[in-house]
Amino acid sequence: MGVGVIGRKIGMTRVFAKDGTAVPVTVIQVPTNYVVQVKTPEKDGYSAIQVGAIEAKEKHLTKPLMGHFNKRGVKLLRYLKEFRVEKPQDFQEGQEIKIDEFFKPGDIVDVVGTSKGRGFAGAMKRWDFGGFPKSHGHRYHRAVGAIGNRTDPGRVWKGKKMPGHWGAEKIRVQALLVVDVIPEEGLILVKGSVPGPSKGILYIEQSRIAGRKKQQLKINRLKPLVESVKELTGAEA
């Protein structure tokens, strides 16, 4: 459990370490995030904060949602996300969340986004099937093949991998390394790729698996690289 923020994917680029190593990173723009609601075990049964970002117009919100913002004296916001926290008493409604206070280079974060929609896709493209032989004489090449059995069970099992809609689904990428944080521009640079198209909405939160031994070894292994990138970018600035 940890504090998270709402951001927007800008795209991918690369940064260089002092030894010339190129590090592929995704640039995430984090607009001003506000604490809209604080939930406590005494009142709500669990500890969490509701975070909002990106100003919205009245025509984009429902009346109950506008009442939710007005009741707490927070400006109208387009996106809301709830994050579980251990100490909700440390937050106040209307508080601005600053990324440099909760994220720093070397941290491990989880990024949640909606993957690109691919429309209708065949089984080979959707599920990475190998397909049938492509040699002369075969009548099937990219077909699914048999999808059921005979009298028993006499039906197709639920969840069978078949052609259908691919993409446009929620995906969580875990344990991404924060390479750099640029608070004056509201940017977070994470190593690797994240789901969704450019300008897509992302939810960045402290990783749920950061405490695992494997992730701690990963942090120790990449710590020199992060420090090298930070020194180089600091020197250029």
Structural domain contains residue 31: yes
Angle at 191 between CA 113 and CA 78, to 5 degrees: 30
User: 69 lies in a domain?
Assistant: yes
pLDDT along the chain (237 residues), means of 10: 90 89 94 94 93 93 94 93 91 91 91 96 94 90 87 89 95 93 93 94 92 88 83 58
The DSSP-derived string for 96-120 is: EEPHHHH--TT-EEEEEEEPPP-EE
Q: Does any domain span residue 219?
A: no
**Rounded distance between C-alpha atoms, residue 52 and residue 97, angstroms:** 10
Residue 230's pLDDT is 73
Answer yes or no: do 112 and 8 share one domain: yes
Backbone angles phi, psi at 217, to 5 degrees: -65, -35
105 and 185 assigned to the same domain: yes
Q: Taking the CA atoms of 179, 200, 114 and 112 in sequence, report the sign of the dihedral they define.
A: positive
Q: What is the CATH number of the domain that holds 59?
A: 3.30.160.810
Indicate the pTM of the whole model.
Answer: 0.87
Please check whether residues 66 and 79 belong to one and the same domain.
yes
In terms of domains, do 181 and 78 share one?
yes
Where in the sequence is the domain holding 50, given as residue range(s)? 4-15+23-117+169-208
Residue 225 lies in a domain: no
The answer to whether position 234 is within a domain reads no
The verdict on 56 and 111 lying in the same domain is yes
**Both 183 and 75 in a single domain?**
yes
The verdict on 35 and 133 lying in the same domain is no
How far is residue 47's CA from residue 34's CA, in Å, rounded to a whole number?
17
If you count DSSP H runs as helices and E runs as strands, how many of each does the chain have, helices first? 5, 12
Among 188, 191, 182, which residue's Cα sits nearest to residue 24?
A: 191
Same domain? 147 vs 49: no
The answer to whether residues 99 and 86 belong to one domain is: yes
Instruction: Verify that 8 and 101 share a domain, yes or no.
Output: yes
Q: Are 105 and 124 in the same domain?
A: no
Is residue 87 domain-resident? yes
Element (H, E) at 22: strand 22-29
For residue 197, being part of any structural domain is answered with yes
Shared-domain flag, residues 77 and 146: no
Cα distance between residue 212 and residue 110, in whole Å: 14
Is 214 within a domain? no
Per-residue HEC secondary structure of 64-77 comes to HHHHHHHHCCCCCE
Q: Which of 214, 234, 211, 8 lies closest to 105, judged by CA?
A: 234
- Model pLDDT, residue 191: 94
pLDDT at 117: 95
Residue 237's pLDDT is: 42
> What is the per-residue DSSP string for 187-227?
EEEEES--SS-TT-EEEEEE-TTTTSHHHHHHHHHHHHHHH
Q: How many domains does the chain have?
A: 2
